[in-house]
Chains A and B, each alone.
Chain A
Amino acid sequence: MAKLDLIMFEEEYKLLQEIIGRLAKDASAKVVFLVDKNGQQIAAAGDVKSIDATSLASLTAGNVAATDGLAKLIGEKEFSLLFHEGEKDNLHISIVGKRGILVVIFDQNSSLALVRLRVKKASKELQEIFDQVEQRAQKESDTGSRFESPFSEITDEDIDRLFGD
């Protein structure tokens, strides 16, 4: 199967979180989200509570997927950047590597030029960490030597409990 699980460890997660936190500050953004192309949130910084992050992640991924589809349709590989301008808030969406999406929400306290500049720098750093994660996953799947999974002993009772019976 072509499926490679995305497994994120504490150290990597901390690094990602740091980069996004810095980006939020440097770009004077309201919120910054890092989401996965499949619609799952990876990390967030800024005024996170002001937004329904789960819906944002899913809709962003849907948006990027649809835009990818459009790109292919006209013979482009991808559009690496999406920008939505609102009355107060703006949405800057960019692709990081193969599976990441960076979402920056900003208002008049910042500018598109500044956001662009800071995103570029942060993207490079994020990319490096994604590469590390990917390489490790690849190595583990090649050698078949995976770390001890905590899910090796899931029972039917565990699953029943998830459903509250």
Chain B
Amino acid sequence: MTFINYASREINCKIVYYGPGLCGKTTNIQWIYEQANPEKKGKLVSLATETDRTLFFDFLPLDMGTVKGFKVRFHLYTVPGQVFYDASRKLILRGCDGIIFVADSQRARMEANIESIANLATNLKENGFDIRSIPYVLQLNKRDMPSAAPVTEMERLLRFRGEPMIEAVANQGTGVIETLKAAARQILMELQRS
């Protein structure tokens, strides 16, 4: 649900990073936070466990500049990846405008990726969204790992609607902004259609 405020001329878009545990969701938004212009970013809120695992969500507000005289602001959220936090994941998808699915390229995580996409489809549906039509980007993260599966294989297993697919090494910042931009493009294009 995009919140368009004609009084303050603002558009707020909620983008959710989804994916299995430890795939690099938090790393994506941490990198964005670190390199963003100080006056454009708000505080990075992380509700994490003692061991830095996301407990409820990470949240980063970003002021992006203006489009057609409207201030565009992104609200970036990550979900906790572990299977047992499903109730929390469902809540965070509430009213989202777009999804960035972060896949872990390591061979051993391929099943976890597939399960997480299935879980995303279910949770989106429960929130009234359709995974086939909501703005959606696939990020193949951890491309630097020696055990990374070939891109073609990951595409065959994980890409299902011709969505933008971006290779990334999130802890080095590679592909991070490109991914966000691909999501932003889809969300803003969606606005003109609706």
Contact = CB atoms under 8 A, between A and B. Distances in A.
A6 B1 contact: yes
Given A40-B12, A40-B75, A59-B45, A159 B130 contact: no
A109 to B, nearest CB: 28
Label chain B's interface by main secondary structure.
mixed
A14 B7 contact: yes
Contact of B129 (A3, A14, A58): A3
Contacts of A55: 42-43, 45, 59, 61
Interface in A17-75: 36-40, 42, 52, 54-55, 58-59, 62, 65-66, 68-69
Contact of B7 (A4, A8, A38, A156): A8
Interface in A102-144: none
B8 A52 contact: no
B6 interface: yes
B192 interface: yes
A40 B91 contact: no
Q: Which of A37, A58, A69, A151 has the most CB of B within 10 A?
A: A151
Interface of B: 1-8, 12, 14, 42-43, 45, 47, 56-57, 59, 61, 64-65, 67-70, 72, 75, 87-88, 91-92, 94-96, 127-130, 133-134, 177, 181, 184-185, 188-189, 191-192, 194
Interface of A: 1-10, 12-14, 36-40, 42, 52, 54-55, 58-59, 62, 65-66, 68-69, 146, 149-154, 156, 158-159, 161-164
Given A12-B7, A13-B8, A151-B192, 12 more contacts: A3-B129, A8-B4, A10-B6, A13-B6, A38-B3, A40-B75, A55-B61, A62-B91, A65-B91, A68-B91, A152-B192, A161-B65
